[in-house]
Every structure is written in structure tokens, then in C-alpha cells.
Structure 1
Amino acid sequence: MSGAEVALRGYNAELQEGLAELRARREELNGRIRTEEEEQRRLQGRLWALTERLARTNESLARNMVARGELDRTIAETEAAYGKILENSQTLLDVLKGEIGNAGKAREPQSTSKEKEEKTHGEKHS
């Protein structure tokens, strides 16, 4: 065997070792890729579930905010109407008190000037 043949066989062996190492690295890398792809699928599934949950929560929140707005308007209208009722009740009470005062005066006999004269004459003649 000549020196060139020995060198060629040495190169061939080194080339085969290098290729085997590259293939081993590739298999290791394939394993990491498979693991990351599984993680990606798992995360995408969670992301889809969370996106759906977020959409449902947003819809519910929007409905609840509308309902709260309606309740706020109803409360404001009711409070305003109640305030008017209180105001009208106070006015009615004031009117009633005035009428009661006037009715009391109407019951008291009011003497005319002729009755006063007769009364005073009657007292003088006695």
C-alpha cells in the first residue's frame, strides 16, 4: 500500500466520522425540534382556549355594562321622580295647613258692627 492510499483511507475514515457526528447532531436537533413543536401545539391549544374565554368574557362584560347603564338611568329617573313626589307632598302639606287655618277662622263667628252696637246698648241698659 502506498502512502497515497494510506492517506486516502485516513481521509475517508475522518470523513465518515465527521458525517456520523453531523448525523448525531442532526438527530439531537430533530429531538429538540419535536419537543418544541409539541410545546408549540400545546401552547397554541391553550392560546385558542384563552382567546375563546377572553371573547366570552368581553361579551359578558359588555352586556353587564349595558345592564348597569340601564340600572343607572332607572335609578336616576326614580330618584328624580321621588324628589318631585317629596316636593309636591311638601306643597300639598303647606296648602292643607293653610286651609286648616282658614277653616278655623271661618268657624269663629265674626260680629258685624250692628251686633256690636246691640251688644254695647244691651250692656248699657242693664
Structure 2
Amino acid sequence: MSGEREAVQGYNAELLEALAELRARRDELSERIREEEAERGRLQSRIAALTERLARSSERTARHLSARRQLDASIAESEAAYGKILESSQTLLDALKGEIENASKASESASTSKQTRGQKHS
């Protein structure tokens, strides 16, 4: 019986040793889990902060795009109006040149006519 008792005590010691090893592994895993959960919490906080920054950036971009569209429209209207002004200026210039030409012809014909009359009286 003594042999059986010693065998049972040996098994018991091995069992206790195996249980202690399993507990040590469990404690090690528990520490890793705590570390991973802490890292996960930090990452989630960063994600929340980055998500908020992204939303603010998107809002600013949308406002800038709207302002740019308004400026593009203003530029297009101004360029169109300027083109009409240039066209009107060219039309006015052409009309004035025509008037100057007509005035010059009238002046030349009046002076030719005076010269012709002056030669008749002489």
C-alpha cells in the first residue's frame, strides 16, 4: 500500500504542478489581455478624435468648395460683362472712326468747293 500511496502522492504532486503551470499561463494571458484591451481603448480614442477631425475637415472643404463655386460664377459673369464692354467699345470706336471719316470728307469737299469758287472769282 505504501507504494500505492507514494504513487498517488506523486500523481498528486504532478497534478498540482501542472495546475500551477496552467494558472501561471492563465495569469500571463490575463496580463496580455489587459494590455491589449488598454491598447484597444487608446486606439478607439484615437479613432474617435480622428473621426471628429475628419468631419471638421470635410465641413471646411465643403464650405471652401461652395465659396469657390460662387467665385467661379462671379468670374464668369464678370468676364462675360467685360466681353460685352469690349464689344461695345469696338462698335463705338468703329462708329467714331466713321464719323471722323465723314467729317474729313465733308471738310475736304467744302475746301475743294471754296477753292473752286475762289478760282472763278479771280
TM range (shorter): 0.7 to 0.9
So what's the TM-score if we normalise by structure 2? 0.86
User: How far did 1:46 drift?
Assistant: 0.5
- The residue type equivalent to 2:64 in the other structure is N
User: How far did 1:82 drift?
Assistant: 0.7
Please name the residue that 1:40 is paired with: 40
Please name the residue that 1:61 is paired with: 61
> 1:14-45, CA deviations, whole angstroms, 9 ceiling, x for partnerless residues?
11001100001111111111111111111110
Quick one: distance in 2 between partners of 1:77 and 1:10?
A: 98
User: How far did 1:53 drift?
Assistant: 0.3
Identical residues among aligned pairs (%): 65
Quick one: distance in 1 between partners of 2:38 and 2:81?
A: 64
> 1:77-97, CA deviations, whole angstroms, 9 ceiling, x for partnerless residues?
111111111111011001011
RMSD: 2.1
Q: Does 1:17 align with 2:10?
A: no
- The residue type equivalent to 2:88 in the other structure is N
Provide the aligned length of Structure 1 versus Structure 2: 118
Please name the residue that 1:106 is paired with: 106
**What are structure 2's unaligned runs of at least 5 residues?**
none
**Larger helix percent:** 2
**What are structure 1's unaligned runs of at least 5 residues?**
none
So what's the TM-score if we normalise by structure 1? 0.84
- The residue type equivalent to 1:10 in the other structure is G
User: How far did 1:102 drift?
Assistant: 1.4
Please name the residue that 2:78 is paired with: 78
- Secondary structure class of the residue paired with 1:69: helix
Greater radius of gyration (CA): 1
> 1:69-113, CA deviations, whole angstroms, 9 ceiling, x for partnerless residues?
1111111111111111111101100101111121233344274xx
